[in-house]
Each structure stands twice: as C-alpha cells, then as structure tokens.
Structure 1
C-alpha cells in the first residue's frame, strides 16, 4: 500500500518527521515463507543452452502454497504479474491462451476433524487402494492424468487484507513416461499454447517421483514412513507437515502401484496430527470424507478427499483454519479433482479416442 505523506508548509527535521510517520513494518519473510517462495521460483525457472528460454517453465506438479506469498499488491500490479507470465510463457501474447485473471477465493465452513475413526477409515481407504485395477504402464506408454484445479495466487491485496485471490477452476492434463524422463503438460491459460515439455534428466525421488521409482519403494508402512521422513527432512517445513504433503503430491499426479498406495495411506495415518474430516468437497463439487493435516506454520489444513462409499481418491483441497498471512479462516487456498487417471500409448494422446493428440 502506498501511503501519502502529509503536506506541510514548513520543512521538518528528521526527528520530527520520524515522530509523525508510523513505524515501518518488518519486511522480513519467515524462513518457511522464504523457502516456499524460493522453491516455487526455482521450479519455475528452466535454463536452456540452445535457445532463449521462457522465464516461467512448467513444474511436474504445481507449487503447494502461494505463488506470491504474503505480498500485498495493487490490482494493476496483479494484472501485470499475470500478463507478464502469459507473455514469457509463450514468447508473446496469445489471446487464445491468455492467463485468466484471478478470482476471490471461496470461503467455506470449517468442518471439525477427529481421530476417533482414523484407524477404521484408513483401513477402508487402503483396502480400496489394494483392489485398484489400473493398468501398469509399459515401455513407450504414458501415464495420463486429467484434473480440474485452482491454486492460490496472492494472499491479499492492498485494498483488502483478508481477500485471497485464486486461479479460476481450469483443466490440467499431464503425461509422464514410466521412468519419469519424458512428459508433457497442457494447462491452457497457464502454459504456452499447446502445452510444455516436462522432460527431465533429474534422478527420481519422492519429491519428483516416477512409476518405476515408486515400484521399488518398500510397502511396509513403517519402513515407508521412515524413508519419507529421511528424504523430506530438509524441505523447510515441519517434518510431519512435509511428510504429509509429500504423500499428497503422489496422490494427485502420479499413478501409484496398488500395494504401495495402500502402504502410503497406512504410513500417513502414523503421522502425528492426521485426522478425519467427515465432510469435504473437491474441485469438481464431489462430496467426500477426508484425511487431513494442519500446517502449524501456515495455519492451513490439507485435505485428501475420498468417495464416502467406495473410498476411491477424488482430489484435495487446502482450507485456512487459523488466520495467518492476512488469510481469513475458511478460505479455500487450493482445490483439485482427479477426473481421469489411466495409461495411454503415446505422449499427448487422450483416452477414449485412439490416436487423438493434444
């Protein structure tokens, strides 16, 4: 916010000026917020040696938290951010793929959470995961995941500290090879027209998994949880929150082998603070039951949402439950809904129509 200094007919010395003006705010970001912002920026920058690269490049999965963390902005500046992203992502302005302006985040009633039915609920979910019959991808095939998503863009504006802005709900499609080395992302309005490559030479890990990597993980819940904590201990958040968030990343945009999927849920149930929320809604408006965990630093609760009858995974959402960073309780920071998850024979091919490409 720009503060207008009062006009005086007579000049003021430094001491008098300091007395009249309000004390300056502390611009320092907490370590957690700084690391989250740094993580997002590093995920978004993709260097290349052969051609000028767009400043913002697609990540294999979206950032977990804010794109602009706790930064008050004017409406004009916010519009500039989105226009700049659209231009640098595509190399120019493409009216057909222009980034939609953000909208006010929805606000919901905060449902209470409980551990009373945690063990029973997790067993139902694990049993459903064990019975999953999704095909195993073979050489040359791709894992296709279609989702409806919305993510937080800024926590508040200079005109309303309580008004969080989010992306409008939109479709996001991802193709990944079983080894994780080749991939494609199509997210109109948020990527260049036609999509962006997700090809990488980075060694797979829990933070950037592949189907082949997941197949080699232990299916004993205790051993699996130990590995999750070991790989995520230096991520900048609390160990429990980081472990829960890492498992959640796998649920949204990976195809997880059935036995490992069941083990992940049983491992997650061992994380301190995990609870059951009886009523939650994914990005597609589907009602379900959720496994949830509150980020004690950010004050938001991540919810994994499951069908209340079949216990199949539906999607996720993050709801602010404690006021923090100017965000009011009940604000929905992000929403996802997995609409399709299957195996196709080629990159950019969509299921249901042989040979159809993005």
Structure 2
C-alpha cells in the first residue's frame, strides 16, 4: 500500500508544535562538568588547522604571563569558541604561531648551587636601584614568547607552538593598585589596564620593601602567600620568579631574595641556558613535579645580572615532548617613570 503524505501548508500554532516536538533537555551543565569544561578550554585549544592562530594556553602559576588574567581568560575562551574572529568582534587577531624550539636537556646539579647563589646575591647587592616615589611607576620592557598547544580532534594529535618573539611593556604603581600592560598583537590596541583595588600584594614594590631581610624569614613570608594542593615549593619558586621578571626589587632585599631561593628544595644550577635573545648564561632552575616543566632563571655568566627566563619541558606532559622550549623571555629595560604609559627618556631613572 502506498501512503501519500500530506504537505501541511498552514502554520502550526505554538501548542500544536509543542506536542509534535520532543521535550527540550535541560541545557544547564552540572557544576563539576562545567568546571571541567572551563579547565579544559583554558588548558588547550582544539584546532585542526596545522598552523594555528590561537592565543597561548595558561600554564599553572605563570604569573608573568597572567598579569591581565581576566583579559587572558576571556581571550582564550573566545578563541576556543570561534577561531579566526576579527578584531571587530572584540577578540585580538594575534600573529600566527611558530613551531616551538627543541633543545637538548642539560641535567641540573646542586654541586655549584651555594657558590652560584652567593655570586648572584653579591651582584644584586652591588647593583643599586632607584626608589619609586608617590605617583611614579615601575616600568619593565621585555621580549617574550609563550606556549600554545593545538589538538586535532579528528586524529587526536597534539602539536606545540609558541608565539613569535615580541615586545611586552608593563607599568606598575609601587603599591600594586594601578598598572598598564601593552603587548601589541596579543592585547587590544593600546594595551589593557592592570588597575586592581585588591592587588596581589606579594607582587608589589611596597610589599617587598616591607619584607624581612633575613633569607629564612623572607622565605617563610613567601611560603605564606601560597596555598592549594599544588607543590608549595614550586609555588614559592614561581612567586619569586615572577618578582624578578616583572618587578623592581629593593636593593637591600635583592641578596636575601636570591639566598632564600637557594633554600627551596629541588632548586638546581643549569650550567648553560639561553634567554630569548640567545644569550648564554647560567641558570637557577626547578622542575615542576606536576607539569614536568623546568623553569630556568638565566644570569650573565660574568656579571651575574638577570638576563631572562626559559621554560623547558623535561618530562612529557599533555603531548608536550621533552626538550620543548615552552617559554622564553629577556629583559630589555627596567626603569622608574613619572606616569602610566610613559617610557624612559631624559630625566628618567634606569633600574
């Protein structure tokens, strides 16, 4: 028997339509599922294109990269949802990523740790820094490259990419309540505000100036700022690393800061490490037991002045192969300036 279907030409009313359609599912995610999804979006970007144009993923406790955490989180979420959006939609059209460099992993050692820390501390004491006054700002200019990963959902393959080396400028008030970040190509044009009514005091110049000069007491103060289930030794190391990367350390405290670092379990010396400018130096380093990444602070071999930092994957984690350089930075300028967005010039004090 042939059935002739009838084509309905008149519109359905809402009640009839509701009877014909299945009941809608609850669109809400369970709280734990939503947390997992958010964590997943922030830890990797699904991108089938072999040359992605995505924003870098957030590495745990990478403080220097997360000064504008709300902006970074929003940008990463926007990229994950809609890759290739134009600037007119509110996202930033970042430069295309490049393959992450791979280096031979040099084993770290504690044999020269005490003497290296002593030399770095002595150099820090000899190097005087200007003291920012009311209304002034600490200015840091660096060149940076941070990591992004891509995941091909069809093949399950991971690839590790990095940003092209680019300029990054930060202005911070001494109390940490005001600031500005300008990172062309990775923030909106002109930069973004870092103003914060409740600053992370452990990052401010004033917080540092109030800390005890005794290394043991200083280290105890740093440990008091960390919490959670992550390795506290690694958190303390990262906290101090973020200070020396994008902060001005009072000269009277600098030596104690480095001596405190030498007391953190797991800190080693890496004899050869290169900053983002390709300068070879000696590094204080520590392996993150959770991510398998070794964070390295690189110092000039002769003057023992801080040059920059490097992150090297030592143990494979989330598809990132050993030897992959996931972070590179180099410091270009430290100074005290008279206003936000002002760059060092005549009459300004270099640090």
Q: Which residue of 1 aligns with 2:281?
A: 288
Q: What residue ranges of structure 1 are gaps of 5+ in the alignment? A: 1-27, 39-58, 72-76
Counterpart of 1:252 (choices 245, 256, 272) is 245
After superposition, give the CA deviation of every residue in 1:254-299 in whole Å (9 maximum; x if it has no partner). 1111122211111111111100000000111111100000011111
- Conserved 8 A contact 2:275-2:308: yes
Q: Which residue of 2 aligns with 1:7?
A: none
State the 1:100 CA deviation: 0.8
1:269 and 1:132 map into 2 onto residues whose CA distance is 20
Q: Which residue of 2 aligns with 1:325?
A: 318
Evaluate the alpha carbon distance shift between residue 256 and residue 246 of structure 1 in structure 2; reply closer, same or farther with a 3 A threshold: same
State the 1:98 CA deviation: 3.0
Q: TM-score, normalised by structure 2?
A: 0.75
Evaluate the alpha carbon distance shift between residue 63 and residue 157 of structure 1 in structure 2; reply closer, same or farther with a 3 A threshold: farther
Counterpart of 1:212 (choices 198, 201, 206) is 206
Counterpart of 2:177 (choices 181, 204, 226) is 181
- Conserved 8 A contact 1:240-1:271: yes
- Conserved 8 A contact 1:161-1:327: no
SS at 2:218 equivalent: helix
Q: Which residue of 1 aligns with 2:102?
A: 107
After superposition, give the CA deviation of every residue in 1:222-257 in whole Å (9 maximum; x if it has no partner). 1111121121032x4201111111110101111111
- Conserved 8 A contact 2:63-2:238: no
Q: What residue ranges of structure 2 are gaps of 5+ in the alignment? A: 1-32, 44-61
| Matched length | 289
2:41 and 2:123 map into 1 onto residues whose CA distance is 34
Counterpart of 1:154 (choices 149, 153, 164) is 149
Q: Which residue of 2 aligns with 1:167?
A: 163
Q: Which residue of 1 aligns with 2:257?
A: 264
1:107 and 1:257 map into 2 onto residues whose CA distance is 36
State the 1:219 CA deviation: 1.4
Q: Which residue of 2 aligns with 1:55?
A: none
Which structure has the larger Rg?
A: 2
2:303 and 2:106 map into 1 onto residues whose CA distance is 21
State the 1:327 CA deviation: 0.7
State the 1:29 CA deviation: 12
Q: Which residue of 2 aligns with 1:347?
A: 340
After superposition, give the CA deviation of every residue in 1:56-98 in whole Å (9 maximum; x if it has no partner). xxx983149xx89xx9xxxxx77944x44x73xx7647xxx73
2:340 and 2:63 map into 1 onto residues whose CA distance is 15
- Conserved 8 A contact 1:162-1:326: yes
Q: TM-score, normalised by structure 1?
A: 0.73
1:82-101 equivalences under 5 Å are 83-84=84-85, 87=87, 92=90, 98-101=93-96
SS at 2:298 equivalent: strand
